Amino acid sequence: MNERNETEGGFRLSDWFLVLLLALCIAGMVFRQWSLRRGGTGELAVYTVTAEWRDVDSRTADCLSEGEWLRTGAGELFGQVVRVERLPAAVRLSEGGQWYEGTWPDEARCGLVLTLSVQARESQGLLLRGGTHPLNTGETYLLYSGRAELRLFVRSCVQNQDVQESNS
């Protein structure tokens, strides 16, 4: 008859453990953000990012132009398109156990190599876009222009030397 009823309002040891675990998780996230911002090597700099947009319908590719800004799904600025280079889209087809490689006719499908100007800084070996979001070579990002949705594969990220020298 000494059993506690589950509907009573008391905290058990397991409840306190869960509250402590939640508090430690929140403290860890806050510390991680603080250390990324604190550990930077300086102010934001301009980086040149080269990215590929593979196997795109040519009409969709025409929706992208130089000088256009790209945004993330959250609406944050990612970078500005500096150059657009159009390439034929590579295809690989199989027939009878044989693989054949070729390209689509230029008017049907294409690939684009984009050069973007992105504001970023280095922190603890990471390149942080806007100072907070990691920007990784070899990763694919879903971005939006004014008229198109782009799935860009990042090939390289290099600090823009012209801007760095003019600031000196």
Assess whether 101 and 22 both reside in one domain: no
Q: What is the pLDDT of residue 89?
A: 80
Residue 98: count of CB within 10 angstroms of its CB: 7
- Determine the Cα–Cα distance for residues 46 and 121; give it in Å rounded to an integer: 8
Assess whether 59 and 140 both reside in one domain: yes
Assess whether 105 and 73 both reside in one domain: yes
- Spell out the residues 6+ positions from residue 147 whose beta carbon is closer than 8 angstroms to its own: 63, 64
Assess whether 106 and 145 both reside in one domain: yes
Assess whether 61 and 29 both reside in one domain: no
Q: What is the pLDDT of residue 108?
A: 79
- Spell out the residues 6+ positions from residue 102 whose beta carbon is closer than 8 angstroms to its own: 90, 91, 93
CB 110 within 8 A of CB 86: yes
Assess whether 33 and 75 both reside in one domain: no
CB 99 within 8 A of CB 93: yes
Assess whether 33 and 89 both reside in one domain: no
Q: What is the pLDDT of residue 38?
A: 60
Q: What is the pLDDT of residue 4?
A: 53
Assess whether 51 and 132 both reside in one domain: yes
Each residue's pLDDT, cut to its tens digit, for the chain (168 residues) gives 445 555 556 778 888 999 999 999 999 988 877 766 665 556 888 999 999 998 888 888 888 999 999 999 999 999 999 999 988 887 788 889 899 888 776 677 888 999 999 999 887 778 888 878 889 999 999 999 999 999 999 999 998 765 444 444
Query: What pTM, to 2 d.p., does this model score?
Result: 0.66
Assess whether 27 and 84 both reside in one domain: no
Assess whether 90 and 142 both reside in one domain: yes
Q: What is the pLDDT of residue 149?
A: 93
Q: Range of 21's domain?
A: 3-37
Assess whether 8 and 69 both reside in one domain: no
Assess whether 162 and 79 both reside in one domain: yes
